[in-house]
Amino acid sequence: MSMDAVRLVEVGARDGLQNEALTLPVEVRVALIERLVAAGLRTLEAGAFVPPRWVPQMADSDRVLRHLGQRPGVTYTTLVPNLQGLDAALQAGCREVAVFAAASEAFSQKNINCSIAESLQRFQPVMAKALEQGVAVRGYVSCVLGCPFTGDVPVADVVRVVRELHAMGCYEISLGDTIGRGTPGKARTLIQACASEVPITALAGHFHDTYGMAVANVQAALEAGVRVFDSSVSGLGGCPYSPGATGNVATEELVYLLEGQGLATGVDLAALLEAGAFIDAALGKPSASRVANALRRAH
């Protein structure tokens, strides 16, 4: 990918919606994703193959994928926690999956009831089968810039998990500031440390906006060489460990930031605003995107 282009991974239909109180029907989730594709997004989280009792908002992810079908140049990804989840994703026709680990032992225990080492061990058969089936695997690392239970997370701990996921076969590792505590200097230091162990092209940024630092952290990561960022239309989502958090950085804000610096995203901002308005109406809530709200007021 050109250094003058940035790839956005749209996480609104999975990471965003799973943190919303309202569980939307399959038809609305499909309509959202189709609108986002029409706006120019080419990598999109479409669901998660986890038990519905854990995440009811992601129930029927197989039906979402089947409704979407295959589209040239578009990748629909799903989260899988284990082999059972991977098998369900494969049966639904998924060609890319994601696994998730944490850089904080406390968060790993609270979130997935196992240690970091145990979580990585669980992923080994998932990785092996996915790669055998020609399915790409993306990795997520939570709490890279802070843990809700223990505070600061040593950079070395993050680097170790990133290195192991890459060695296992993850083509890309998304660095998640899960509680949004990161600041630009810390984000830059973290990326530089990770890039000393894996290629910078294998790193992506995933920033939450709890303290209003997400866009600043994206800029710092951009200057450090990162060219892939996760974002959520209309700022969908939140962090259950940070009451009042605005959650994921809004896709509208990143498109505005990046295009304003001459970096191509391939996204039509007007069409993206329409997709955001659609999902905001379905959820019965206002947009969390400052850019979206400002542009709507201006017009």
pLDDT at residue 241 is higher than 80 = no
Query: Are 289 and 276 in contact, with CB atoms under 8 Å apart?
Result: yes
Where are the domains positioned within the chain?
7-298
Note the pLDDT tens digit of each residue in 7-34. Answer: 999 999 999 999 998 999 999 999 999 9
Q: Rounded to whole angstroms, how far apart are CA atoms 14 and 248? A: 11
- The token pair at 274 is 């329409």
Indicate which residue of 94, 143, 194, 239 is catalytic. 239
Mean pLDDT across 60-64: 98
φ/ψ (deg, to 5) at 103: -95, -10
pLDDT of residue 299: 75
Q: Rounded to whole angstroms, how far apart are CA atoms 36 and 12? A: 10
Mean pLDDT across 242-267: 88
pLDDT at residue 250 is higher than 90 = yes
CATH superfamily, with its number, for domain 7-298: Aldolase class I (3.20.20.70)
Q: Rounded to whole angstroms, how far apart are CA atoms 286 and 33? A: 19
Note the pLDDT tens digit of each residue in 192-222. Answer: 999 999 999 999 999 999 999 999 999 999 9
Is 143 assigned a catalytic role?
A: no
Q: Taking the mean position of all CA atoms in its chain, how far away is CA 295?
A: 25
**Mean pLDDT score across all residues of the chain:** 94
Query: Are 121 and 157 in contact, with CB atoms under 8 Å apart?
Result: no
